[in-house]
Amino acid sequence: MKRVELIDVSKSYDKQVDVISNIDVTIEPGEFFVLVGPSGCGKSTMLRMIAGLEEITGGVLEIGGKRANHLSPDKRDLSMVFQNYALYPHLTVFQNITFGLDVKKVKKAEQTKRANEVAEMLGLSDFLKRKPRELSGGQRQRVALARAIVSEAPICLMDEPLSNLDAKLRAHMRTEIRRIQRKLGITMIYVTHDQVEAMTMGDRIMILHEGKIQQVGKPIDIYNYPANPFVATFIGSPPMNISPARMEPTKSGVFIGDTIQVSMTEQQMIAGAARPLLAGIRPEHIQPVVTGTEMGNKVQVDVTNVEILGNETVFSFQVGDREWMAKWSGQWDIAIGDQVPILLGSEYFCVFDEETGELIRKPEGLAHLSIAKEVSL
């Protein structure tokens, strides 16, 4: 296991405009670290800089405590899985898996031993004599993964390896890749544009936008306490509902429209003084009014769209000029055009500075549940 550290790293193709700038992050040994962001944000470029396939314009890259800026890819002691698998069509599965070992002049007996072990781990034992064209997409993806694992490199880089698979197979392979990473204890750096993959796979995730770090942390912390409106709307499905809000100092809070009040402490009021603000709440924190005794902002809304997904119901409604969404567990008898009473608890709201994106007020109603494990003898 090795640590990977990027210190003020930047990348420019024309030496004038940085496509990646001021990247400072340390990826710990044995960590599953996910780079996530929209297309064009620089995440694959950053991965290729770590791999040595792209030149670093500025800053320092350290791998295992040693400066690696000018090391060739074969000297960086890492493996990589590409988005398109990059398999050799004229070679068998076995030959594809052991190709890198051939280059390193590993003895044939050791190659066979390693290849058989990895094939067994990934369920490829029955396909070792086949060519890539005889395999499904999921099987080809596992061959590419096997080729990376068989090298026994302490660092593995993955560039959107699941993007070509269907939804069901992606879910299965997410679990498979995470299980293998834990079993081998390798440092995994994984690139994706899919926030679900990032949330379910990463020990920590780094969100990029326009070549800059937006937030780094544990997935659940980023979900609960997004650093800015971009993170709030990028992470989560459906995304966080966000609308402009105005401050009412005499009422110790901010207002969205004329009906929704979000309470704030004196310190938060000072931090948000005389600023244009944005207030946001996650769809699942918008609650139904079922007894009429709940505390909070009760609002009657007109339903503009409904999606009943079996295990949950998602519906939309207007708040000013923005369309908001609510997500309720179970199946609800709601139709477009219905008037539905909802409960908006101020304890679930985030408040941001609209100009800087700074998070001024964190939600206070998020309960962290701990599981007590009892061992019976």
Q: At 296, which CATH number?
A: 2.40.50.140
Residues 215 and 243 in one domain: no
Q: Check pLDDT > 80 for residue 1.
A: no
302-336 tens-digit pLDDT: 999 999 998 999 999 998 889 999 999 999 999 99
Residue at 372 is within a domain: no
Residue at 181 is within a domain: yes
Of 8-12, 56-60, 96-100, 103-107, the poorest mean pLDDT is in: 103-107
Residues 201 and 92 in one domain: yes
Higher pLDDT residue, 317 or 14?
Answer: 317
Residues 241 and 216 in one domain: no
Higher pLDDT residue, 296 or 364?
Answer: 364
Residues 162 and 265 in one domain: no
Residues 272 and 134 in one domain: no
327-366 tens-digit pLDDT: 999 999 999 999 999 988 888 999 999 999 999 889 887 7
Residue at 42 is within a domain: yes
Higher pLDDT residue, 294 or 316?
Answer: 316
What whole-number distance in Å separates Cα of residue 80 and Cα of residue 52? 11
Residue at 376 is within a domain: no
What whole-number distance in Å separates Cα of residue 11 and Cα of residue 7? 12
Q: Check pLDDT > 80 for residue 13.
A: yes
Of 184-198, 280-294, 337-351, the poorest mean pLDDT is in: 280-294
Please compute, for residue 187, the number of CA atoms within 13 A of its CA located in the half-sphere on the CB side: 17
Residues 24 and 146 in one domain: yes
Select from 376, 54, 46 the least CA-distant residue to 207.
46
Q: What is the pLDDT of residue 292?
A: 57
The H or E element that residue 96 is part of is: helix 93-103
Residue at 135 is within a domain: yes
- Domain of residue 219 covers 4-224
Residues 203 and 240 in one domain: no
Residues 314 and 340 in one domain: yes
Residues 217 and 251 in one domain: no
Q: What is the pLDDT of residue 97?
A: 93
Q: Check pLDDT > 70 for residue 371.
A: no
Please compute, for residue 61, the number of CA atoms within 13 A of its CA located in the half-sphere on the CB side: 23
Residues 96 and 162 in one domain: yes
Q: What is the pLDDT of residue 294?
A: 60
Q: In the chain, what percentage of residues exceed pLDDT 90?
A: 61
293 pLDDT tier (thresholds 50, 70, 90): low
The H or E element that residue 200 is part of is: helix 195-201
Which residue in the block uniquely carries the two structure tokens 């499905």? 237
User: What CATH number is associated with residue 149?
Assistant: 3.40.50.300
What whole-number distance in Å separates Cα of residue 120 and Cα of residue 113? 11
Residue at 38 is within a domain: yes
Q: What is the pLDDT of residue 367?
A: 56
Q: What is the SS3 assignment for 61? A: strand
Give me the number of domains the chain comprises: 2
Residues 219 and 280 in one domain: no
Q: What is the pLDDT of residue 377?
A: 43
What whole-number distance in Å separates Cα of residue 163 and Cα of residue 317? 32
Residues 134 and 215 in one domain: yes
Residue at 373 is within a domain: no
Residue at 339 is within a domain: yes
